[in-house]
Amino acid sequence: MKRLAAPKHWMLDKLTGTYAPKPSAGPHKQRECLPLIVFLRNRLKYALNGREVRNILMQRLVKVDGKVRTDSTYPTGFLDVISIDKTDEHFRLIYDIKGRFTVHRITAEEGKFKLGKVRRCQLGAGGIPYVVTHDGRTVRFPDPLIKVNDTVKIDLESGKIVDFIKFEVGNLVMVTGGRSMGSVGVITHRERHHGGFDIVHVKDANERLFATRLTNVFVIGAGSEPWISLPKGKGIKLTIAEERDARRAKATEASA
């Protein structure tokens, strides 16, 4: 993949090479993932080049969702847990308010589970019910109350569903696509459009209202309490003027 064609949220500069790593086939789409090499080399700065990344991975030091991954272009995606046991570090891939994957450190306790959005819910061979989540997991015999667009809490060690949140008005969501990507708020209303795209109206902690497509919305908490820790900014999108004021206030504090 040419470097200029790489997704902007990887934040690769133009001048340090012609090419960018092409993600392997995996649980997340090419333009919605972050290859392990970009995370280890460009974000954490644990390696200077691709060869060093491969050396780290071949020592079987890096786990994604509790499984050792040795492929440097393995596609990690939204809400994946990356663990490095040697340094006792755990990260959850989550969007910041600019819609980019951020380095979000979490506790070992929080690294034992992840959330998954239900994409499909149907009957398989022999009439066995199963659900498929946004990260390609298939879980058989789910709770009958779980439906498409709900969120399930998955225990990474066993791969079983331990809890779930219904997609309904009043629950906390994060926007995973579109212009409001990375914003967090509470669902206030859902518009159904038969033959078109369902629209979800969301209100953030600053009482700002915005709307996005149903496919871009991911439930992360029951009521206004998130089930996962949120990155810096807590998913509250600021206007350009508010960002400027915050920067100035910070600079004034630093010089005082």
Q: What proportion of the chain, given as a percentage, has pLDDT over 70? A: 100
pLDDT tens per residue across span 160-173:
999 999 999 999 99
pLDDT tens per residue across span 185-241:
999 999 999 999 999 999 988 889 999 999 999 999 998 888 999 988 888 888 889
pLDDT at 51: 95
Tokens 């340094």 sit at which residue?
Answer: 87
133 bridge partner residues? 118
Measured CA to CA, the distance from residue 51 to residue 55 in angstroms comes to: 6
Kindly tell me if the per-residue pLDDT of 256 is higher than 90: no
pLDDT at 134: 93
Strand order in the sheet with 81-84: 67-68, 62-64, 81-84, 89-95, 101-105
Closest CA to 33 of 43, 25, 45, 42: 25
pLDDT tens per residue across span 127-154:
999 999 999 999 999 999 999 999 999 9
